[in-house]
A and B are shown apart, each in its own frame.
Chain A
C-alpha cells in the first residue's frame, strides 16, 4: 500500500511518489494485489447481505400475500428517489477515480463531496421513511401495531422485520462509506493522488459501488412486489 505517513514532507502541488513494497515486482502488481484484497472483502460483504436475501426469499415464499400487502405500504416515491440518488452518487464516485488517475485532486474532492452529500440525502430520506413507520406502528415482529385492516395479513410483521434488518444494515454501510470517502477526500485535498497513486480512491469508490449494488437489489425486493 502507499506509505504516505513515512514519506517526507513534499512540496505543495507535487504528488508523493508511491512506494512499492519489497515483495512486489512493480507498482502495477502491488495495485492489483490491493484490488484483489478489496474484492475478497467485498465478497464477504455480498455473502453477508445474501443471508438477508435468503431470509427474504423463504418468508416471501411462505407469506406471499402478507409481503405484497406490506410492500404496498412503503412509499414508492421516496424509494425511487433514493435509488436515483444512490446511482448518481455511484456515478460521481466513479468519476472521482477517473480524476484521481489524471492527478486532478481538486476534482476528486468535488466528486467525493458530491457523493457524500448524496449519501447524506439518502439517509435523510430514510429517516423520513423510518419515522413514518414508527409513527403508524409498522414495526418488526411483536412490535407491529398498525391497526390498518389491509395489513392484518399473516406475514406482515415478518416483512417489517426483514425491511428494518436489511435497510438498517444497508444504512450502516452507507454511514461507513461516508466515513471512508470523507477520509479519502481529506487525502485528495492534500493533493496526494496521481496516475501512479490512486489505490485509495479506487478502493474507496469500490466500497461505495457495493453499497449501490446492494440497494439495487433491495429496492425491487422491498418496494416493487
Chain B
C-alpha cells in the first residue's frame, strides 16, 4: 500500500472503540418522538396566543435533537461530525435572528402597508420620523 496520509494514520489510532446503539435505543427514540408529536398537536390545538409557536418550536427542537443524536448517530461519533452539525445550526440561528432584528426595527414605509405590528415604531430606543398609528406620509405625492 502506498502513501497513507499522516493525519489518517494518527486518526486510525484514535478511532478505536466506536460504539453503535442497537434496536433498543431506536425503539425508545421512536416512542419518544411519537409522544412528543402528540404533545405538540394537543398544545398546538389550544392556540395559545403568545408563546404557542415558541412552545411548538421547543418541542420540535427536542425531537430534532433526538433524531440527530440517535437516528443519525451523532451521539456516538467523533468530533468533526458534531462540529459540522453544530456550525450549521449556529448559522441557521444567526440568519434567523439578524433578519428578524432587521425587520423588527425597520421604519414603516419599508414594510407591508397592512402588516403587523400596527404600532410604529417598534420600541427600539430610536426616534424615528414615522411615528403614530396613522401610517406614514406617502413618500411620493399622490395627487
* Residues of chain A whose beta carbon lies under 8 Å from any beta carbon of chain B: 22-26, 28-29, 32, 35-36, 39-40, 42-43, 46-47, 50-51, 53-54, 57-58, 60-65, 68, 76, 80, 83-84, 87-88, 90-91, 93-95, 97-98, 101, 154-155, 202, 205-206, 209-210, 212-213, 216-217, 219-221, 223-225
Contacts and interface: CB of A to CB of B under 8 A. Distances in A.
A25 B59 contact: no
A84 to B, nearest CB: 6
A87 B26 contact: no
Interface residues of B, number: 62
Given A58-B99, A63-B116, A220 B20 contact: no
A61 B99 CA distance: 11
Nearest to B72: A209
A218 to B, nearest CB: 9
Interface string B84-123: 1101110110011001100110000001101110000000
Interface in B46-102: 47, 52-53, 56-57, 59-60, 63-64, 67-68, 70-73, 77-78, 80-81, 84-85, 87-89, 91-92, 95-96, 99-100
B56 to A, nearest CB: 4
B contact patch SS: helix
A182 B49 CA distance: 44
